[in-house]
Amino acid sequence: MAPQSRPLPLLLTRPAAQGDRFAADLIARMPGWFERISSPLMAPFFMTPDLPGSDWSAVIFTSETGVEAAIRLRNAGLTLPRSAWCVGDRTAQVAQAAGFDATSAHGDAESLITLILASDDQGPLLHLRGREARGDIAPRLTAQGCPAHAAIVYAQDPLPLAAAARAALSGRTPVLLPLFSPRTAALFTAQGPFAAPLWIVAISAATARAVESLSPQRLMIAERPDGASMQAAIETIVNDPAS
């Protein structure tokens, strides 16, 4: 597989650290293919909530930002349990590096709930989540006999597209856009329409639905909701005109 004669604009809308890491892995996999354009569509704002007194058995993390919030809470003097349930492998890696004994569900909210309910952990659990989190994890666990409390510890404030992103989206060259959440997809869609043909790789069906109104030239959903599957889908979409 050889790269195109002209690098394809790769629009990164995740927070800068996550976007840069994903791009570095992708470029190592497909050297010479892409021109990186960084334009995060959300910026985290961290909160310190009042938590009910409880002897938590474990924390639940559904994002890397949740782990960052936990680190901030610990630094502020809050005692958190060492055990952590994590939605995916990357979140578990970040939690492990932060000192948690992390277990990954290797997937999404559904697999996380299934994993917890199949374990010996009877709670109570503390879900450190964002304001716009999906999945209703804590109430669903509680309803099935494993008490859990959701604490909103961060919000993701919307950001406008950067000037470089606007310029690429105003041209005629296709723009490759990996999207990692329905909210990011919705924020991107709200700033359209765009002149450039869009080649979109979505991490989930819900994420793909959020960009359907933009009529992307190519649209693919990753086989699994993780970075490796997103990279594999990108490799397919840039090589298959029928994708």
pLDDT, position 233: 95
211-234 per-position pLDDT tens digit? 999 999 999 999 988 888 999 999
According to DSSP, residue 98 is labeled T
pLDDT at 121 over 90: yes
pLDDT, position 5: 64
What tokens were used for 108? 């999404």
The SS3 assignment for 35 reads strand
3 pLDDT tier (thresholds 50, 70, 90): low
Determine the Cα–Cα distance for residues 136 and 127; give it in Å rounded to an integer: 10
33-58 per-position pLDDT tens digit? 999 999 999 998 999 888 877 789 99
CA distances 157 to 18, 174, 183, 227, Å, are 16, 28, 11, 23
Residues 110-138, mean pLDDT to the nearest whole number: 91
pLDDT, position 242: 60
140-198 per-position pLDDT tens digit? 999 999 999 999 999 989 999 999 999 999 999 999 999 998 999 999 999 999 999 99
Q: How many CB atoms lie under 10 A from the CB of residue 1?
A: 7
Domains with residue ranges and CATH for the chain: 8-41+160-239 (3.40.50.2300), 44-156 (3.40.50.10090)
pLDDT, position 149: 94
- Tell me which of 10-14, 28-32, 99-103, 137-141 is least confident: 28-32
53-96 per-position pLDDT tens digit? 778 999 999 999 999 999 999 999 889 999 999 998 889 999 99
pLDDT, position 48: 87
pLDDT, position 52: 79
pLDDT at 2 over 60: no
- CB burial of residue 165 (10 Å; 0-12, 13-18, 19+): buried
Read off the amino acid at residue 188.
F
The SS3 assignment for 238 reads helix
180-190 per-position pLDDT tens digit? 989 999 999 99
Backbone angles phi, psi at 2, to 5 degrees: -110, 145
Q: What is the value of pTM for the model shown?
A: 0.80
4 pLDDT tier (thresholds 50, 70, 90): low
What tokens were used for 119? 């374990």
